[in-house]
Structure 1
């Protein structure tokens, strides 16, 4: 196990910008746990995070203190989430009319037993099977091809013990979409797949001044005027192939070609939207995507919807590299706080990379996994340097430190 003697260099300046959201003792816990989360190579339980901190690490606390930080300390994880977005927007230097996407989805985490809040039997469409575990409504904020995980809010099924039941739609709007504050000059788009389509959700988002880009199901009725409505698949079947325009969009560094048709249509209880019917010769898949902003081009709508996949990447990499689903906490509030800290570490590492970009030598851009590995190397170098200094030994120019410096580490 990697041991750290201080917060890794990449995280320190970022975490300092959250200091005012905590009391002094709680900020120390926040800083310590974020540092440990970034380098711990075991399951990210509180016990393992505590063990990742070297005993000589300044300010290290007991495991019970870190457990208390999640369960009872006076801090607001929603304020942390908002601060992350503020820093992300500042780092990207977003200007007037730049697009910012808020992508909504959900994910599952398999658990055993009944001791954890919210556990139950859920159908996981990705596995096409029922699982026993937790279900979270999740979100990602994206712009200019970069993204950060925003919030994960636990969904708890409606039963006699759940007095404050909320549907996933209500969680998405009330706890994620509505509280998000962005500069008025920036165009915010809410993006989701067809499962989330709801005229009520549309209405609420539009009242906030947000636009929506989403997929709709093939049986959704759309009107070509106030009197003529068709299921969207039937409308698509009436359009000759010659009217579909070949359109290429950049998707996660690759080119993707669609044959697409656009038309303004009416959806009951929503109003006029722009419909894009897209096909791919490669797999014969037809998608029906709508945008509440009718001024967007066909290509822009396809590109925005393709960016929805970033939330799937966030689910995978936040779990594999940062232990998003490793929590061994029982109550909903503590779990959501833990996940928000994982998302904070992701954001810290990404913003460091934005400010310290790799050399333009033609190599591929780094994934979050690559970035986390660099933080771990940095931590190893800092620990080695600490040991050498502690014993008053000269730090050699060659060897481990030389290798780490050659890789761009700030030792």
Structure 2
């Protein structure tokens, strides 16, 4: 593969971000260019293939040691997306709350551990991210994330943030700092069950859609009853969505 002699044009917007210094911006443009166009996605490989990089030591220092505000950088990224019609968010969009296990091999990676992976059906070694994703009929992109880390011992478990805690933190950030206008949150039954997420979403005046377990107590027609008992109380009508009943 021929070396990459210049940064990709999509990285030009980084020049306008206040969260990065001049040299940090150069490293950021190098890293993004390497991830998007390079054959190797490692720091060493990117420094070798993207000629403006300088050295892999400087690029690695930028990733691991430089003092820059990643939250501010992410907020500036989201602000940039709102300047373009094809990526501008709206009230009709949805915010998806979920978590995902990214399989890894390194044993000393931050937060790495053994997590149950639903897609694999078994525990795997990796990093566990809780994240929010924006989506509508024209675009989709990540909004924010938090890394979930297991407590090292039982004494730390009481102080350990749960995935529910991290999800609530993300919602607070999106509502009070970022100001995402989407009216509706989506999450699965795991996040809907005893997480406090429903109350937290509603406290910001937003709607939510998610499956509830059959034994959850809800209030319907001024009476409290189990979800699985609602079938006897509501009118049902078959609907066809995308060719499925």
Q: Shared topology, TM-score over 0.5?
A: yes
Give the equivalent residue in structure 2 for 1:300: none
Structure 1 Cα separation of the partners of residues 167 and 238 of structure 2:
34
Instruction: Describe the shift of the 1:162–1:86 C-alpha distance in structure 2 as closer, same or farther (beyond 3 A).
Output: farther
Contact in 1 for aligned 2:11/2:32 (Cα 8 Å): no
Structure-2 residue corresponding to 1:82: 75
In the other structure, the counterpart of 2:149 is 156
Instruction: In structure 2, list runs of 5 or more residues that go unmatched.
Output: none
Instruction: Give the conservation status (yes or no) of the 8 Å contact 1:135–1:154.
Output: yes
Alignment size in residue pairs: 240
Q: Which residue of 1 aligns with 2:132?
A: 139
Which residue number corresponds to residue 30 of structure 1? 28
SS at match of 1:216: coil
**Who is 1:223 aligned against?**
219
Aligned partner of 1:63 in structure 2 is 56
Using the size of structure 2 for normalisation, the TM-score is: 0.84
Structure-2 separation of matches of 1:226 and 1:159: 46
Equivalent residue runs for 1:8-407 within 5 Å: 8-9=8-9, 11-18=10-17, 20-42=18-40, 44-54=41-51, 57=52, 60-92=53-85, 98-112=91-105, 114-160=107-153, 165-174=160-169, 176-180=170-174, 181-183=177-179, 186-197=181-192, 198=194, 200-230=196-226, 232-236=227-231, 243-248=236-241, 256-257=242-243, 280=245
Unmatched 5+ stretches in structure 1: 249-255, 259-279, 281-411
The structure showing larger relative contact order (alpha-carbon pairs under 8 Å, at least 6 residues apart) is 1
Distance 1:132 1:207, change over 3 A: same
After superposition, the Cα gap between the structure-2 partners of 1:140 and 1:223, relative to the gap in structure 1 and judged at 3 Å, is same
Displacement of 1:188 in angstroms is 3.6
Distance 1:191 1:245, change over 3 A: same
Cα separation, partners in 2 of 1:215 and 1:80, compared to 1, 3 Å = farther
Give the 3-state SS of the residue equivalent to 2:94 in structure 1.
Answer: strand
- Counterparts of 1:103 and 1:190 in 2: how far apart (Å)? 6
Deviation at 1:5, TM superposition (A): 0.8
- Going from structure 1 to structure 2, the CA distance change for 1:238 and 1:101 (only over 3 Å counts) comes to closer
Q: TM-score, normalised by structure 1?
A: 0.53
Corresponding residue SS for 2:110: coil
Structure 2 CA distance for aligned equivalents of residues 125 and 33 of structure 1: 31
Q: Is the 8 A contact 1:108 1:135 kept in 2?
A: yes
Larger radius of gyration: 1
SS of residue matched to 2:7: coil
Q: Is the 8 A contact 2:217 2:224 kept in 1?
A: no
